[in-house]
């Protein structure tokens, strides 16, 4: 693929937020196809400002953007396609990639089983790859659902086991619904849960257009919460 012209092709720099939720939001690149999820099997992160500047200085202005592959999971579509750790994804289906969320949204319009054309920067050379999207495992689906709503769950301390909210992204559906870091999840959609695994089993069947009804423990008191949908419902056509 021909490199874009430096003066026109570099996308505008998008501000990047470093927070505990960033990797969780990028984990296991999703595909949303109707009610089904697929995946590539990679963990990704945004290119830092410093990395972008170094790339621009070394390779030219047009190369100062992209999404870094932090890990390629074994036996996944990404591994089969030849993606490697530290590859920099600079284009997908002919469009520049400037941040993880943009990449996820593009992939999100692709049905599982279809091929995607990627361009990656590896050791200062561009490589064109094709990857066929696979079906996302149920446990990863649960992580993705939580991430799309804007939170992640961790195991509680040994003295107080259970599912504890590790972080909540500001302005996310979870934040708007009142969920906060440190809350202990007691029930999901009316069903009691006592562990992270139990929470994940409930989350993996939730659609992004649906609300999530939670009961959480906060300072020793039960608190009912309703998280608004992470994805608007489709209008009838």
- 3-20, pLDDT tens digit by residue? 444 333 344 333 333 333
Are 120 and 13 part of one and the same domain? yes
Tell me, yes or no, whether 236 lies in a domain.
no
Asked if residue 70 has pLDDT above 60, the reply is yes
Number of domains observed in the structure of the chain: 2
Mean predicted lDDT score pLDDT of the chain? 80
194-220, pLDDT tens digit by residue? Answer: 899 999 999 988 988 899 999 999 999
CA 67 to chain centre: 12
Tell me, yes or no, whether 14 lies in a domain.
yes
Tell me, yes or no, whether 66 lies in a domain.
yes
d(CA 193, CA 182): 16
Are 154 and 205 part of one and the same domain? yes
Are 33 and 79 part of one and the same domain? yes
Instruction: Give the residue from 109, 135, 161 where a domain finishes.
Output: 135
Instruction: Give the residue from 105, 135, 165 where a domain finishes.
Output: 135
Lowest mean pLDDT among 15-24, 43-52, 133-142, 219-228: 15-24
Asked if 110 and 32 count as a contact pair (C-beta separation under 8 A), the reply is no
Instruction: Give the residue from 72, 102, 135 where a domain finishes.
Output: 135
Per the model's pLDDT, the better-predicted residue between 52 and 171 turns out to be: 171
Tell me, yes or no, whether 159 lies in a domain.
yes
At residue 164, the pLDDT reads 95
At residue 22, the pLDDT reads 40
| Mean pLDDT, residues 119-135 taken together | 91
Are 198 and 82 part of one and the same domain? no
At residue 64, the pLDDT reads 66
d(CA 155, CA 164): 6
Asked if residue 118 has pLDDT above 60, the reply is yes
Of 193, 192, 42, 177, the closest CA to residue 103 belongs to 42
Q: For the range 197-204, what are the long-range contacts, defined as Cβ-Cβ under 8 Å and sequence gap of 24 or more?
A: 198/163, 199/142, 199/153, 199/163, 200/139, 200/142, 200/143, 200/153, 201/142, 203/141, 203/142, 203/145, 203/146, 204/138, 204/139, 204/141, 204/142, 204/145
At residue 36, the pLDDT reads 59
Asked if residue 27 has pLDDT above 50, the reply is no
Tell me, yes or no, whether 232 lies in a domain.
no
Are 163 and 106 part of one and the same domain? no
Tell me, yes or no, whether 233 lies in a domain.
no
| Mean pLDDT, residues 152-163 taken together | 82
- Count of CA atoms in the C-beta half-sphere (13 A) of 223: 17
Question: Could you tell me how many residues make up the chain?
Answer: 237
| Mean pLDDT, residues 164-193 taken together | 96
Are 45 and 91 part of one and the same domain? yes
Asked if 42 and 83 count as a contact pair (C-beta separation under 8 A), the reply is yes
Are 23 and 88 part of one and the same domain? yes
Asked if residue 23 has pLDDT above 70, the reply is no
Tell me, yes or no, whether 113 lies in a domain.
yes
| Mean pLDDT, residues 30-51 taken together | 72
Are 123 and 32 part of one and the same domain? yes
Cβ partners under 8 Å of residue 180, min gap 6: 165, 168, 218
Are 11 and 120 part of one and the same domain? yes
Say which CATH number the domain at 117 has: 2.30.42.10
At residue 216, the pLDDT reads 97
Confidence of residue 120 (pLDDT cuts 50, 70, 90): very high
Residue-number span of the structural domain to which 43 is assigned: 6-135
Asked if residue 50 has pLDDT above 80, the reply is yes
Are 149 and 204 part of one and the same domain? yes
Are 147 and 117 part of one and the same domain? no
Confidence of residue 224 (pLDDT cuts 50, 70, 90): very high
Tell me, yes or no, whether 173 lies in a domain.
yes
Are 94 and 41 part of one and the same domain? yes
């Amino acid at each position: 693929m021909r490199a874009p012209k430096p003066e026109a092709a570099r996308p505008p720099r998008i501000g990047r937020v470093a927070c505990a939720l960033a990797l969780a939001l990028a984990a296991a690149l999703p595909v949303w196809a109707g009610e089904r999820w697929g995946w590539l099997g990679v963990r990704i992160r945004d290119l830092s400002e410093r990395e972008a500047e170094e790339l621009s200085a070394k390779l030219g202005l047009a190369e100062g953007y992209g999404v870094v592959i932090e890990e390629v999971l074994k036996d996944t579509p990404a591994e089969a396609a030849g993606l490697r750790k530290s590859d920099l994804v600079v284009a997908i289906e002919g469009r520049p990639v400037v941040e993880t969320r943009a990449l996820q949204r593009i992939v999100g319009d692709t049905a599982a089983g279809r091929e995607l054309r990627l361009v990656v920067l590896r050791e200062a050379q561009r490589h064109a790859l094709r990857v066929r999207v696979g079906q996302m495992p149920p446990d990863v689906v649960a992580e993705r659902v939580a991430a799309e709503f804007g939170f992640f769950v961790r195991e509680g301390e040994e003295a107080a086991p259970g599912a504890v909210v590790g972080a909540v992204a500001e302005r996310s559906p979870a934040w708007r619904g009142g969920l906060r870091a440190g809350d202990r999840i007691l029930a999901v959609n009316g069903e009691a849960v006592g562990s992270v695994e139990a929470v994940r089993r409930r989350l993996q069947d939730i659609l992004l257009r649906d609300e999530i009804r939670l009961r959480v423990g906060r300072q020793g008191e039960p608190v009912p919460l309703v998280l608004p949908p992470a994805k608007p419902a489709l209008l009838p056509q």
